[in-house]
Structure formats: structure tokens, C-alpha cells
A and B are shown apart, each in its own frame.
Chain A
Amino acid sequence: MDPQSNSFRVAVRRRDGLSVLDLFGDIDGFADAALDTAYSEAETHDTPAIMLNFANVGYINSTGIALIVGLLARARKNHRRLVTCGLSEHYREIFNITRLSDFMTVFADEESALREVVAAA
């Protein structure tokens, strides 16, 4: 298999006061630049929270975890909430083991995330 066949891409959108990063493909070292650019774009939106949508992500390796840690650190520095949705059961377990889920709420899907984030705003 060509390692690039699941190459990462990301789309940024706004919804009901939430910046959403729709992530596609593998989150590994190759995703670094695209993720950074997309997150920077999302930061320009005046929203209280940024959501990472993992519904279309099939693979996250330890380098990908490190990238997410980096985004979380940026969000905390800027006092912005970072939440996630769409993680598979396996990656939800990894977010628990790594304690990422202690610092970023893991929602099952976008709708439930939206309800909670908007209500909290």
C-alpha cells in the first residue's frame, strides 16, 4: 500500500459559534503542516471553542498524538476550548490512556458536541 494513499487533509468551517476542523485520512507526521495551517485559520474565527472532527480519520499514530497535544497546548495558552468528536472506540481508548480526554472533551458526534458547547457558552 502506498503510505500516501491515506494522506491527510483538513477542511475548516464554522457552525453555530463553533469552529470545526473536519479531519480526513491519517494523522501522522505527514499531517503536521496541514493541521497547523488549518488550526491557525480556525483560530482567526471568533469562537469560544474549536472542535476536531475525527469521523473520517482511520489512523492516528504517536506522532499524530503529539500533534494533537501541540494543538491542545496552543488552545490552552489562548484560553480556547478544544473538543473532539467522531473518534472510533479504539482512539477513544487511546485518548483515555494518554489522558488527552482529561483536557479535551470527547463527544460521540458533532450534534452532541454542539449542544453542550453552545449551552456552556
Chain B
Amino acid sequence: MTTRALWRNRSRPQETPDTPPVKPPVAPAPVAPVVPLDIPAGDPLLAHLQANQSGVIDVERLALDSPGVRALRAAGVRLALPLVSQGELVGLINLGQRLSEQDYSSDDRRLLGNLATQAAPAVRVAQLVRQQQLEALERQRIEQELRVARLIQQFLLPKEVPAVAGWEVAAYYQPARAVGGDFYDFIHFPDGRIGFVIGDVTDKGVPAALVMATTRTLLRTTAEQLVAPGAVLERTNNLLVENIPPKMFVTCLYALLDPASGHLTFANAGHDVPYRRTAEGVVELRARGMPLGLLPGMQYEQHETTLRPGECVLLYSDGLVEAHSPTREMFGFPRLQALMAEPTDGNLVPFLLDRLRDFTGPAWEQEDDVTMVLLSAHGDGGPGDGREVLARFELPSRPGNERRAMEQVAEVVAPLGLPQIKLDRLKTAVAEATMNGMEHGNKYDEAIPVLIEVAREGDDLTVSITDRGLKQPIPEAEPPDLTAKLAGQQSPRGWGLFLIQNMVDEMHVTTDDVHHTVKLVVHLIAGGQRGSTE
């Protein structure tokens, strides 16, 4: 307890026997400086003051071994008047020696006792008002901080989700009142690939928002340089660990999607494991790694998979799985996994939010940010276009893999019951187109796969083979001159495109800045170009 001692200056005008007393000039007596007195919480003086509710305490007579008493005496305090309101010591009036240097009289003491009794409630009220003012200021400060944190998050979160043909991307973010550190991001690459980031910073409010902003910037910069998710997280961690405040860290998942192939590469820095919904069930996409910002030199597992038509992957934050019901039951991972397996009409996110609301009840006070990012591969080419994707897969550009391509395509189209001769032609065309893509487009770089998509479009079966030819023109297929080849005037090679053209009913070649796509078309009903030979 800190008290202040106030007393009057003891100096008076000089008087001599030979001169009549001279009235002092009418002016306020100087006031001595207020001296703060600190009385420790355990000081026996405090108990004594509280017990002596209306009494006037003569400090000189206090028989207490107390630092507070010594401090009062050192400050020249003669009388101490405890201010006690409703049994609580709320203050202390300290008086020094009287200006007349006479002792305080019994009338003085009675007057002071009455004064203390009446002043105590007023002091208490003043204290409560002051406390409320301070609390209001603190609330305003916290609200202002929350507003700043929300602004930072809203500014940094993507304004829109990527629009990608054949895919649907959905994002949901609901901050808790205290504003956690959730964030998500989409990073677009020139070759069409898209990076998906979801993260969660420990702590809340402005500190978390600032760390989130830093992490997001580091991830973006690093991703543009390194691309591979494992390497991106590794470098981001090393940069972040030097700048993050103590006891803070960031969980983060980074997944890189090639929309053309459905190929997904991902690495995880301690974030909640994403779920993948497949025709066979809901599975986890696991990759191990420490959260960002904890320790330098961490390495991050990188895994990859290919999403098939109709599949989806859910990235989410712990605010979802750690939500509580009114009976304090936790939403939990098993419940989320089971819900993802349920058939849904349309987007999974609204469905999950409905189930979350059912679980938490209407009076739920959201404990943490809830964030979800969902990427879904369409089961077909889009509503109402009559196109059904039967399979989408990719193969490393390795000599001999064209055989795998044709066998996989044959397996996919088996239910269509193609005549054997037509199936054999398709297989040869697929093998040749795949070989061209691997050799001429991808230069047999095993890190660059060819994408193969098998689809049914009305009465046609189509197989599209895509490589990353990077603007190299595809030569027109011209009939090879066998006579010239036998005479050594032409290379014995050069049969690929010629074979493809002759094995299917139609062949279409499309290119963009990055990809070559050869689309093979087989008419499923008789009357096509090759059908007449059957």
C-alpha cells in the first residue's frame, strides 16, 4: 500500500521581545512536497490500521516492528487516520506536527476521527469511479487492439478463391472474438500450379497477426523461389526462427496442386493433418515436420499424391476440431473424418458448418478461429456439359512408361466394352502420344510428369495426354516415306504421330504457354473413320 504524507511547513515569522508581533502577510502557507510512503502488503501496520477503524493513531506511540511505521516516522507523520469503508482499509490520512507546534488536542483528535469516518466512503466511491474509468480505458485498448488484429488479418487473407477449370476451391474463415492467428493463402505460379497454405500462429491479437503477416510474406517469397513444399517450409522456418518473439510458433501446411493433373505435393509444419475424401473413404494426408519458428535447421517430409475426379481435400484449423458442445465435449478429429465420409449435396464446407452449429448449439461462444480450405476435383468437366472424366493420372517421363499409360487407359475403358481391334488401336495411340510427350515435351525429365485424362464426352471416348512442351511447336503428322527410309534418305524413325492419326477417329493438338495436349477421340458408335473396318 502506498500512502502520501502531507504536512505544513513549520517555518514561522520571527518574533522578538522588543517588537510587537508582526502579522504575517496574508498568503497561503507553503505546502511541503507530498512524500509517497510504501507500506508492504505483509506489514503488521496494515492490520493495525484496518482494526482501528475510527481511531486516530499516534504514530510515535505505535509499538510495532514495522517498516511502514518507520517510514511514517521518518516522514514526520504524527497522526495517522485510517480510512476504512465497509471493513476495508481504503486510505490513510497522515498529519505532521501542528503549525502551532502544540500537541493535537483531544478535540482535534475527535474532529479528525469524525473526518476520517465521513471521508472513507467518499474516498471509496472516488476509488471505484477511478477503477471503472481505468477498466473502461483498458477495455477500449483491448477492443482497439482486436480491431487492429482483425484489420491485419482481413487485409492479408485472400479476397477471392482461385478459379480453376475442373476444380472448385472454397475457403471459410470465422475469427473468434479474441482473434486467433489463423490464416490461409493461395499462391499462383506461372505454370498454372497453385500453392495452398493454411496456418495458425500461437497467441492471439496483434502479436499473432503480426507474426502471421511475417510468415505469410516469407512463405510467398520462398515459394516463388523454391516451389517444392518441403524446401519452402524448411527455408521459411530458418528465416522465421530468427525473427519470431519467444514462445511463439506457427503451424502450417503447404500443398502444391497441379490442376491439370490433380498432382498434389505437400509438407506439414505441425499443422492439423488434412483429410482426403476418396471413393474408398476418408484418409489422412500425413507428412511430418516441426512447427515453424521453434528450432532452426528443421527438415520437412514431403509427400505427393494425385487427386482423382470427385475427390476433395480439406485443410482446416484446430478451431474446428477443438470446438466444444454445451456439455464440454470436443468436436474432435474422428467426428470430422466421419462427417467427411457422409454423402453431401454440393459443397462440403456448408455441410460441415451446419454440423458444427448442431454440435456447439446456438449459444456457442467461439473459442478460437475456425478456418477451412477445401479443394475439390470435379467428377466431370462441369455441370451439364455431358462430359464425364473417367480417370486422371500422371506418369513420370521415363522411357518405357508409355506402356504403363496404355495399360492404365485400357483398364479404365474396359467397362465400355470396346471391340478388341478398337481397343488395340487406342492403346497404340495412347502409347505413342505418351512417348512423344515424355520425349519431346518433357525431355525425359522424370520430375516432369505427363498427365493423362480419360473422359467420355457424349458418344465419344477421349484421352488427353498433356506434357509441358513450353511453346515448342508440334510438327504436323505427314505420311512417312518408307521407300526413302529404306534407301537411307530418311531416318527410319518418325512414325509416332502418323500412327496416332491412323489409330483413332480424331486427333486434336492444343498448346498454351506451358502445355501441349494431344487429345485422342474414339467414336463409340459405329460409323467412325476406323469403325468401318470392323
Contacts and interface: CB of A to CB of B under 8 A. Distances in A.
Given A1-B403, A66-B492, A61 B482 contact: no
B404 A62 contact: no
Interface stretch (B12-20, B122-130, B138-146, B495-503): B495-503
Interface in A1-54: 1, 3-4, 6, 26, 28-30
Contacts of A55: none
A6 B403 contact: yes
B511 interface: no
Contacts of A29: 399
Interface in B383-398: 398
Contacts, number: 78
A26 B404 CA distance: 13
A65 interface: yes
Interface in A62-90: 62-63, 65-67, 69-70, 72-73, 76, 88-90
Nearest to A68: B492
Contacts of B533: 93
B495 A3 contact: no
Interface residues of A, number: 31
Contacts of A62: 432, 435, 493-496, 499
A3 B398 contact: yes
A97 B479 CA distance: 10
A97 B424 CA distance: 15
A108 interface: no
B492 A3 contact: no
A62 B407 CA distance: 17
B44 interface: no
B234 interface: no
B421 interface: yes
Given A69-B492, A90-B428, A3 B400 contact: yes
Nearest to B481: A99
Nearest to A67: B492
Identify whether the interface residues of A are mostly helix, strand, loop, or mixed: helix
Interface string B16-32: 00000000000000000
Given A66-B493, A90-B421, A103 B482 contact: yes
Contact of B480 (A67, A88, A98, A103): A98
A69 B482 contact: yes
Contacts of B431: 59, 61
A114 interface: no
B485 interface: yes
Given A28-B400, A73-B492, A61 B486 contact: no
A66 B404 CA distance: 21
Interface of A: 1, 3-4, 6, 26, 28-30, 59, 61-63, 65-67, 69-70, 72-73, 76, 88-90, 93-94, 97-100, 102-103
12 contacts: A61-B431, A62-B499, A65-B499, A67-B492, A69-B492, A72-B486, A73-B488, A89-B424, A90-B425, A97-B499, A103-B482, A103-B486
Given A89-B424, A90-B425, A98-B482, 7 more contacts: A1-B407, A3-B398, A28-B400, A62-B432, A69-B485, A88-B424, A103-B486
